[in-house]
Amino acid sequence: MTKRKLTIEDLSKLVSVTQPTLAPNQQEAVFVQTKINDKDNTYQANLWHVDLNTMKLTQWTHGKEKISSPSYSLDGTQLAFLSTREEKNQLYILSTKGGEARKVTSYEKGVSSFLWSPCGKKIWFLASVKEGKNFTDEPEKEEKKNPEPYVVNKMKYKLDGAGLLPQGTYKHIGVIDLETEEVTQFTQGNHVYDLQAISHNGEKMVFSVNRSENQDFEFRQSLFLVDIKSKEEKTIIEEDGYFGGVAFSFDDTKLAFVGSDSAFKNATHTELYVYDLETGARQILTEGIDAPVGDYVVADSQQGADAPSVVWTQDNHIYFQLSTMGDVRLYVATLEGEMYPATGDNEHIYGYDVAKSGEFALVTVSNSTEIGELYVQTIATGERQALTSFNESFEHEVELVQPEAIMFQGAKDWAVHGWLMKPAGYVEGQKYPLIVEIHGGPHAMFANTFFHELQLLAAQGYGVLYINPRGSHGYSQQFVDAVRGDYGGGDYEDIMAAVDSVLADNDWIDENRLGVTGGSYGGFMTNWIVGHSNRFKAAVTQRSISNWVSFFGVSDIGYYFNEWQIGADMTDVEKLWNHSPLKYAQHIETPLLILHSEKDFRCPIEQAEQLYITLKQMKKETGFVRFPDADHNLSRTGHPNLRYARLEQITGWFKKYL
């Protein structure tokens, strides 16, 4: 059977399987299935149930909303989840025997997260509270108000995806009695809390909070162990960096959590920590592994992938994800510090849960040509059985290209890793254009995972080269840190060396038809490349940085990101300008298409406007497309119609010039 080529619209045929959650009886589980709803131009995520003995699948919810965070009560009779059924994420309870879900919260800003109390009669939750108010206060009636000024008095006042942050509003922890629906607020004050974990005996809680008055130059969220009855607090960790994902061991004597200190700012590897409640001793179990704990993959197909940071088994083994050499693998650690991979290579484990006995795990798995399904895996043997096959017919119908892993010498003779895809329908002896894709971050990574955009370019007759240059995660601490202070240096050399390497080894590539594209840091690097080399015949820059001087003041992270990454602030404008692609605009001869979201607060659209007007004024070949009602995450979670339009712009530009 001749397979058809992948299309832009096929994005709507991809089914995302995420958040596998085992029931307490270990005989059944639930997961979330997400699809694009073209009719409403939205995503719909519904709850599915699987019987692990019969493998029977049952869809439990059928709405157009997005459901997330499914969690069983300890006795397995109830399932709680968050749903956008009424716009904001609210908490719902569903009997596992069937029936309609019951809504148990109605907060103006919704509920951020929740945890069951072990008794099954209460649920702890996290939600926003206005200053001077309480969870129990009646919500104010919504009245049409005249526009009011927004008084800015701190530097962290806006956030990509959220816009201007609500003033005088704080995140607090509350508890709701499911029988009486009575709510009690547990935390107080003008602070932002995060609910982390509840002990199995229901007596202890872990939350994170930073109680400093001015947090503009503070990058920490300390972890505290709290006695629920007395509210007495004990510090678990209080230092610069980010720590969370806490889980109690089954006997409540230890905590596991993940975190990274500030040694290399946001390039620091995340580690797995264990804290002994009795002695207060803290150890890093992953100290001997030179790779980061967690999932750092950039892709565009897994919607709502939200894996636990750690999962304990009853025999005190701890499971976690590790990003290494383009894989995300499930690893297991013992308290003695032994470390083993529980899954194989060449794949992306983007969700998991582990049986209490440690005998088996549920894993959601993707690779370069498989979109992602749910499997049950026997830990001892590695044997797997598929529980879902939502994408199977699509994968049989469409020609998908298997990338070839490559390794080459980059700057300073460091080994650099990546992949090369031949065009779909490749014919020996023919010449093909090549497009270089550059990921964002820069502390993220391309991986052995399904990426619709890369497959689309291959389907349109292009070879595709994508690598993890220095600065990427999944490799050593030295490697991920090497980009800081050197943007446009060794990273640029790595990418150009990759092009030289594949040209030398693959005579099917037409060296006169090379294209380059990337977003965020990848957009910065696209801008940098065309300002320093004329070997590319077409380029598309997306959500990019063009001017570090203005980025400092307009980005939601600029005032500290510049210093962390470029090594300069406004006292060293010359260094910021030297690393700015805009400085080299006069050298750009490559036709450059500029794509940018209007609500991007991470790399604000003025970065694109400056570049476009400068190039136009210099009579350069350029185009500019603005995406309304879209933020920095347009390519991953933006409105479906805008995602299609973005891909049309990219492929249209390359078709015109390559």
* pLDDT tens-digit readout, 568-619: 999 999 999 999 999 999 999 999 999 999 999 999 999 999 999 999 999 9
Residue 508 placed within a domain: yes
636 within a domain of the structure (yes/no): yes
Question: Which pLDDT score, from 0 to 100, does residue 105 have?
Answer: 94
Query: 103 pairs with which residues across the strands?
Result: 92
Considering the domain boundaries, does residue 396 fall inside one? no
pLDDT reported for residue 135: 87
Rounded distance, CA 42 to CA 63, Å? 12
Residue 403 domain flag:
no
pLDDT at 144: 77
Residue 494 lies in a domain: yes
Residue 140, pLDDT score: 66
Q: Is 63 a domain residue?
A: no
- Give how far Cα 301 sits from Cα of 18, 145, 238, 304, Å: 11, 40, 36, 10
Q: Which domain holds residue 509?
A: 408-657
Predicted pLDDT at 54 = 97
pLDDT in tens, 323-374: 999 999 999 999 999 999 999 999 999 999 999 999 999 999 999 999 999 9
Answer yes or no: is 544 within a domain: yes
Domain count, the chain: 1
Residue 531 sits in a domain whose CATH number is 3.40.50.1820
Question: Residues of 541-552 as b/e, b for ≥16 C-beta within 10 angstroms?
Answer: bbbbbbbbbbbb
Active-site annotation holder among 348, 443, 473, 632: 632
255-284 pLDDT per residue, tens = 999 999 999 999 999 999 999 999 999 999
pLDDT at 145: 84
Per-residue model confidence (pLDDT) at position 143 = 73
The pLDDT assigned to 338 comes to 95
User: What local confidence, expressed as pLDDT, does residue 213 receive?
Assistant: 87
646 in a structural domain: yes
Q: What per-residue confidence (pLDDT) applies to 86?
A: 85
Extract the residue ranges of the chain whose pLDDT is less than 70. Answer: 138-142
User: Among this protein's residues, is 439 annotated catalytic?
Assistant: no
Question: Which DSSP string corresponds to 84-112?
Answer: EEESEEEEEEEETT-S--EE----TT-EE
Q: Which of 520, 544, 546, 555 is catalytic?
A: 520
What's the per-residue H, E or C state across 26-47?
CCEEEEEEEEEECCCCEEEEEE
- N-term to C-term CA, the chain: 31
Catalytic residue at 632? Answer: yes
